[in-house]
Amino acid sequence: MTDLHRLSIRELSEGLQSSKFSSRELTQHYLKRIEKIDAQVKSYVTVTPELALAQADAADAAIQAGNASVLAGIPLAHKDIFCTQGVRTSAGSKMLDNFISPYDATVVSKAKAAGLVTLGKVNMDEFAMGSTSESSYYGATKNPWNLDYVPGGSSGGSAAVVAADLAPFATGTDTGGSIRQPASFCGLTGLKPTYGRVSRFGIIAFASSLDQAGPMARSAEDCAYLMNVIAGHDAKDSTSVDKEVDDYVANLNATSVKGLRIGIPKQYFNVAGLAADVKARVEESLKKLEDMGAILVEVDLNMVEAYVPTYYLIAPAEASSNLSRYDGVRYGYRCENPVDLMDLYKRSRSEGFGEEVKRRILIGTYALSAGYYDAYYVKAQKVRRLIQQDFLKAFEQVDVIAAPSAPTTAYKIGANLSPTEMYLGDVYTLAVNLAGLPAINAPVGLDDHNLPVGLQLIGNYWSESQLLSIVHQYQQNTDFHTQRAAIAEENA
């Protein structure tokens, strides 16, 4: 079989469970594609063929024995921010280039327990800070739709592997948009769950009050399968919530689009910098949902101008604290021949961290310093609460809120945006993390450079099922999610 990489997760599951093909065949098929195509895309930081084939054989044995779970034997790629036992976990940084994790993140151990096969670890912006994946120590990943463009970030590798058919689905993390924006740039479906839905244990921390893991895949249905594996309470993460987990697959048709109230925040559609093509595709998708029976309702989200400054205060503040552990002593990069302890600290951190990470440490340390704490950090926390309240007020009128995922389609590689230009590109995603809400990206067509455009739907707390269901039904009525990136077409 040559087209195994075109199958959906459900089709892969059916094929494996009925022994139409084995997990070993499927895994080898993907490993061959990676070998053939990934030199162009540069999405994998580490490929783990031995681990993958051992897991594939175990899955095949379980299937033969008739006690395999539904996803047993299906390959998966992990963002290189999830700790994987015995495998390098770099977070895209020179600081962790030599770090072999002694344990698995909960997301990884859950994936293993479900019988999923780990193909490898994929590229990302350094410590998940960025929107292009260019800040990785391992170099830029390319957008499979056009190799001159970025795949987005920070989960750019996760998006690129799926869009290039180098993995059927992937894990990502989203602190301020890092699942939704690369999903948007690469024509994929990606879900950022409610804060606390998925365990953060073993995820290299960026901004702990914002970080959340989620699935990136071609369709809402594929995402639902992965959510069924990774969602749930974890005693090892005190911020994970002990609340019953939905069956996301069973619920794919449970939400009625007919009568669904979709809020349209008019302030979002007036943002300077919203590209005309993006606006047009998003509006067409909303028209389609309206044709399917949804009711579009104008809502107010008045805090838009506060999103970028608030996030870019809180996220760096938390990052500066989280990244203090990389001191050259315990693990990670250590400079050569330090003359004393101060020299060891200074040079290990100066040499081990890249420019964007250092910029954030500086901003965060400044904002948390004694003289400025109240003026900046405490103030930002107060604004954060106002942003959350703004959403809750809107959810009194509507079921979900629609927005673009990003104001533009993918940037050219090397476009060299200034930090502030890059930060402004996050305007549509940041508030969701500040409020802890779930949100999903769905592909809704292409711009005039043939680059994908994404619609974002933001839900109330714990509405992952509803978001997946709405997008699933939209995808039953449209075919944007089935369009393949150029490099996937060339290697069909």
Instruction: State which residue, 169 or 307, has the beta carbon closest to ligand GLN.
Output: 307
Pairing of strands 213-217, 189-192: antiparallel
Closest residue to ligand GLN, Cβ-based? Answer: 178
Render the burial of 359-391: b for 16+ CB within 10 Å, e for the rest: ebbebbbbbbeeeeeeebbebbeebbeebbebb
Instruction: State which residue, 60 or 426, has the beta carbon closest to ligand GLN.
Output: 426
Find the length of the chain: 492
DSSP 254: T
CB of 312: closest distance to ligand GLN in angstroms?
8
CB of 441: closest distance to ligand GLN in angstroms?
12
The residue annotated as part of the active site, out of 79, 121, 142, 192, is 79
Instruction: State which residue, 399 or 426, has the beta carbon closest to ligand GLN.
Output: 426
Q: Which of 310, 88, 281 is nearest to 207 (CA)?
A: 310
Dihedral angle computed from the Cα positions of residues 309, 204, 196 and 454, in that order, rounded to the nearest 10 degrees: 60
Instruction: State which residue, 135 or 478, has the beta carbon closest to ligand GLN.
Output: 135
Query: By CB neighbour count within 10 A (0-12 exposed, 13-18 middle, 19+ buried), where does 418 fall?
Result: exposed
CA-derived radius of gyration, the chain: 21
Q: Give phi and psi for 359, each to the nearest 5.
A: -60, -45
CB of 391: closest distance to ligand GLN in angstroms?
18
DSSP 473: H
The residue annotated as part of the active site, out of 23, 109, 178, 348, is 178
CB of 131: closest distance to ligand GLN in angstroms?
4
The residue annotated as part of the active site, out of 154, 155, 285, 465, is 154
- The footprint of ligand GLN (CB under 6 A) covers 128-131, 154, 174-178, 206, 315, 426
Half-sphere exposure of 191 (CA within 13 A, CB side): 36
**How far, rounded to the nearest angstrom, does the alpha carbon of residue 321 sit from its chain's CA centroid?**
23
What is the SS3 assignment for 120? strand
CA distance 121 to 482: 25
CB of 130: closest distance to ligand GLN in angstroms?
5
Whether 136 is catalytic is no
Cβ atoms of 275 and 447 within 8 Å: the answer is yes
CA distance 58 to 72: 9
Half-sphere exposure of 295 (CA within 13 A, CB side): 10
Whether 79 is catalytic is yes
Instruction: State which residue, 260 or 437, has the beta carbon closest to ligand GLN.
Output: 437
Whether 154 is catalytic is yes
Instruction: State which residue, 154 or 158, has the beta carbon closest to ligand GLN.
Output: 154
CB of 397: closest distance to ligand GLN in angstroms?
28
Residues taking part in catalysis: 79, 154, 178
